[in-house]
């Protein structure tokens, strides 16, 4: 029979463990901030929340249940109070580091969630092993705000692995660059000048807009954003906006884009709209020493030469004109093939003077007509008056003549009557004498 006591035999039945040893255990109790495991040792092991995960607010009762089997690492056999401290996080970290080492040596692409955003980069976790990705290696383009990557799963490679110095560096940029190069090659193989493509505004500058065409960026220069004049590209397009553009030129990997579609070219109908001799209104767009360029419509500028600004001598356009000023001029020349229109304000001054002269002449003619009209009227009135007087005189003379004729007729009648009476008397006397003689 053995001389060992029951306590000695019980103690001998438990296995011997050491700090750093990896052991298997069963969860016998779980609280929000700690887990109790039976690992076959004389005392149960304690696994605190901080040694289970890097997540400070996790409730352990939500992730571990009584009866779960776990593989852990002995942190301390005796913490000074007779407790056995365990770690799960560090064991997983070691496995994670081993995975990272293999990925580094084999240039393997990893995928992990972003757990922290720092001022100089982001952190991802691979099996509790933290990997730092500097801002310069997060993307193949500059990104000021990295907050959009929080909790996002990203792909990366390990560019530097030195766990002893706690320096494990990830690189996402080279993956994006390789992916972009592949897309760029594919896109350049099928893209040609004159194609219409839809892209996403990537960056807006004071000289133009960079547009992502799906693997390669194209430049939409400020001069190609409209047929008219654009002062600030930022007022026209915003980052993230979708836009349809026309491929203007391809030079190796450089693609020039334009929004000047042929069907919207204002010069197509310019010959009809801006004919020689037409009076037009436009705004001064820019000036040189030899003249001013006038915007007649978006995309259609005309030259107002300094000699055509006024009849009086103008030394330079800026002496009498200002940018943005609205002016009225006449089209004196139009060369459609060269897209050149010439204007003149001077001819309008001459025309205005001629118009004033014509108006004065017209007024003089009207006055002369009125004077002649009055004179004719007066003459007619005089003639009418004279005719009236003549008629009256004629009437009077006629009346007098009629009276005279009447008197003459009367006298003639009276004379005839007297003569007839006398003749009758003579006849009667003769008859009487004849009768006497007959007796």
Tokens 């960026």 belong to which residue?
Answer: 217
What is the structure's pLDDT at 28?
93
DSSP collapsed to 3 states, 52-74: CCCCCCCCHHHCCCCCCEEEEEE
Condensed to tens digits (0 to 9), the pLDDT of residues 238-250 reads 988 999 999 999 9
Which range, 49-58, 82-91, 196-205, 417-426, has the best average confidence (pLDDT)?
A: 196-205
Say which CATH class 6-87 falls into.
Answer: mainly beta
Lowest mean pLDDT among 121-125, 418-422, 434-438: 434-438
Q: How confident is the model at residue 402 (pLDDT cuts 50, 70, 90)?
A: confident
Query: Is 337 a residue whose pLDDT tops 50?
Result: yes
Question: Residue range 194-223: average pLDDT?
Answer: 91
User: What radius of gyration do the chain's Cα atoms show?
Assistant: 61
Lowest mean pLDDT among 24-28, 128-132, 326-330: 128-132
Which range, 11-15, 23-27, 296-300, 380-384, has the best average confidence (pLDDT)?
A: 23-27
193-260 topology per CATH: OB fold (Dihydrolipoamide Acetyltransferase, E2P) (2.40.50)
* Contacts of residue 147, Cβ cutoff 8 Å, sequence gap at least 6: 117
Rounded to 5 degrees, φ, ψ at 92 are -65, -35
Question: Residue range 136-164: average pLDDT?
Answer: 89
What is the structure's pLDDT at 1?
44
Paired tokens of 183: 């897309």
Q: How confident is the model at residue 9 (pLDDT cuts 50, 70, 90)?
A: very low
Q: d(Cα 163, Cα 130) in Å, to the nearest integer?
A: 10
105-175 topology per CATH: OB fold (Dihydrolipoamide Acetyltransferase, E2P) (2.40.50)
What is the structure's pLDDT at 80?
61
Question: Residue range 137-161: average pLDDT?
Answer: 90
Query: What is the domain partition of the chain in residue ranges?
Result: 6-87, 105-175, 193-260, 266-344
The residue that leads in pLDDT, 320 or 404, is 320
Query: Is 281 a residue whose pLDDT tops 50?
Result: yes
CA-to-CA dists, residue 400 to 317, 375, 388, 408, 412, angstroms: 91, 36, 18, 12, 18
Nearest of 325, 376, 322, 330 to residue 351 by alpha carbon: 330
Share of the chain above pLDDT 70, in %: 89
Average pLDDT, the chain: 84
Query: Is 324 a residue whose pLDDT tops 60?
Result: yes
Tokens 């006497």 belong to which residue?
Answer: 436
What is the structure's pLDDT at 360?
67
DSSP collapsed to 3 states, the chain: CCCCCHHHHHHHHCCCCCCCCEEEEEEEEEECCEEEEECCCCCCEEEEHHHCCCCCCCCHHHCCCCCCEEEEEEEECCCCCCCEEEECHHHHHHHHHHHHHHHHHHCCCEEEEEEEEECCEEEEEECCEEEEEEHHHCCCCCCCCCHHHCCCEEEEEEEEEEHHHCEEEEECHHHHHHHHHHHHHHHHHHCCCCCEEEEEEEEECCCEEEEECCCCEEEEEHHHCCCCCCCCHHHCCCCCCEEEEEEEEEECCEEEEECCCHHHCHHHCHHHHCCCCCEEEEEEEEECCCEEEEEEECCEEEEEEHHHCCCCCCCCHHHCCCCCCEEEEEEEEEECCCCEEEEECHHHHHHHHHHHHHHHHHHHHHHHHHHHHHHHHHHHHHHHHHHHHHHHHHHHHHHHHHHHHHHHHHHHHHHHHHHHHHHHHHHHHHHHHHHHHHC
Query: Is 405 a residue whose pLDDT tops 80?
Result: no
- Which of 3.30.43.10, 2.30.30.40, 2.40.50.140, 1.10.4190.10 would CATH assign to domain 266-344? 2.40.50.140
Q: How confident is the model at residue 27 (pLDDT cuts 50, 70, 90)?
A: very high
What is the structure's pLDDT at 109?
93
Longest dimension (CA), the chain: 251
**CB atoms near residue 346 (< 10 Å):** 20
Question: Taking the model in full, what pTM does it have?
Answer: 0.51
Do 193-260 and 266-344 fold alike per CATH? Answer: yes
Question: Residue range 401-418: average pLDDT?
Answer: 75
Paired tokens of 405: 């004729």
What is the structure's pLDDT at 182?
86
């Amino acid at each position: 029979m053995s001389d060992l006591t029951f306590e000695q035999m019980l103690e001998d039945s438990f296995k011997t463990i050491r700090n750093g040893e990896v052991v298997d255990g069963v969860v016998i109790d779980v609280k929000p901030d700690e887990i109790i495991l039976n690992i076959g040792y004389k005392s149960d092991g304690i696994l605190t929340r901080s040694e289970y995960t890097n997540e400070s607010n996790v409730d352990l009762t939500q992730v571990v249940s009584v009866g779960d089997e776990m593989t852990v690492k002995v942190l301390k056999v005796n913490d000074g109070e007779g407790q056995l401290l365990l770690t799960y996080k560090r064991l997983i970290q070691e496995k994670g580091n081993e995975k990272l080492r293999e990925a580094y040596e084999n240039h393997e692409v990893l995928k992990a969630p972003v757990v922290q955003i720092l001022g100089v980069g982001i952190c991802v976790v691979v099996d509790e092993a933290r990997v730092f990705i500097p801002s310069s290696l997060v993307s193949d383009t500059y990104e000021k705000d990295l907050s959009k990557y929080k909790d996002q799963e990203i792909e990366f490679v390990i560019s530097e692995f030195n766990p002893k110095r706690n320096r494990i560096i990830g690189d996402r940029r080279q993956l994006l660059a390789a992916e972009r190069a592949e897309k760029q090659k594919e896109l350049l193989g099928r893209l040609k000048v004159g194609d219409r493509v839809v892209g996403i505004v990537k960056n807006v500058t004071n000289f133009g807009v960079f547009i992502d065409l799906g693997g390669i960026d194209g430049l939409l220069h400020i001069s190609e954003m409209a047929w008219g004049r654009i002062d600030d590209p930022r007022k026209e397009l915003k980052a993230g906006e979708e836009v349809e553009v026309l491929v203007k030129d391809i030079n190796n990997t450089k693609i020039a884009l334009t929004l000047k579609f042929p069907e919207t070219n204002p010069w197509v109908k310019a010959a009809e709209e801006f004919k020689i001799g037409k009076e037009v209104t436009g705004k001064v767009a820019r000036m040189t020493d030899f003249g001013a360029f006038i915007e007649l419509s978006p995309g259609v500028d005309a030259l107002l030469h300094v000699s055509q600004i006024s009849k009086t001598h103008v030394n330079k356009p800026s002496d009498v004109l200002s940018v943005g000023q609205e002016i009225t001029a006449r089209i004196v020349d139009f060369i459609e093939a060269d897209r050149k229109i010439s204007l003149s304000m001077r001819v309008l001054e001459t025309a205005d003077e001629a118009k004033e002269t014509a108006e004065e002449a017209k007024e003089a003619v009207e006055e002369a007509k009125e004077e002649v009209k009055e004179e004719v009227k007066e003459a007619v009135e005089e003639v009418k008056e004279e005719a009236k007087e003549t008629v009256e005189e004629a009437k009077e003379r006629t009346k007098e003549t009629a009276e005279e004729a009447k008197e003459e007729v009367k006298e003639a009648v009276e004379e005839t009557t007297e003569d007839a009476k006398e003749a009758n008397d003579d006849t009667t006397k003769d008859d009487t004498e004849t009768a006497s003689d007959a007796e």
